[in-house]
Chain A
Amino acid sequence: EAQVTQNPRYLITVTGKKLTVTCSQNMNHEYMSWYRQDPGLGLRQIYYSMNVEVTDKGDVPEGYKVSRKEKRNFPLILESPSPNQTSLYFCASSLSRNSYEQYFGPGTRLTVT
Chain B
Amino acid sequence: DQQVKQNSPSLSVQEGRISILNCDYTNSMFDYFLWYKKYPAEGPTFLISISSIKDKNEDGRFTVFLNKSAKHLSLHIVPSQPGDSAVYFCAASGTGANSKLTFGKGITLSVRP
Contacts and interface: CB of A to CB of B under 8 A. Distances in A.
Interface of A: 4, 35, 40-45, 48, 58, 90, 92, 97-98, 100-107
Given A4-B43, A90-B43, A106-B42, A101 B49 contact: yes
Interface stretch (B69-77, B78-86, B95-103): B95-103
A8 to B, nearest CB: 14
Contact of A98 (B41, B95, B103, B104): B95
B32 A100 contact: yes
A35 B34 CA distance: 17
A20 B101 CA distance: 24
Contacts of B46: 101-103
A65 B99 CA distance: 22
Given A100-B49, A100-B99, A41 B43 contact: no
A97 to B, nearest CB: 5
A42 B105 contact: yes
B89 interface: yes
Given A42-B6, A98-B99, A101-B49, 15 more contacts: A42-B89, A42-B105, A43-B106, A44-B103, A90-B43, A90-B44, A92-B43, A97-B100, A98-B96, A100-B34, A100-B93, A103-B46, A104-B45, A106-B43, A107-B41
Contacts of B41: 106-107
A11 B36 CA distance: 26
Nearest to B105: A42
A104 B44 contact: yes
Contact of A40 (B44, B99, B103, B105): B105
Nearest to A48: B100
23 contacts: A4-B43, A40-B105, A42-B4, A42-B6, A42-B103, A42-B104, A42-B105, A43-B44, A43-B89, A43-B103, A44-B103, A45-B100, A48-B100, A90-B44, A97-B100, A98-B95, A101-B34, A101-B49, A102-B101, A106-B42, A106-B43, A107-B41, A107-B43
Interface centre among B6, B41, B100 (most CB of A within 10 A): B100
Contacts of A98: 95-96, 99
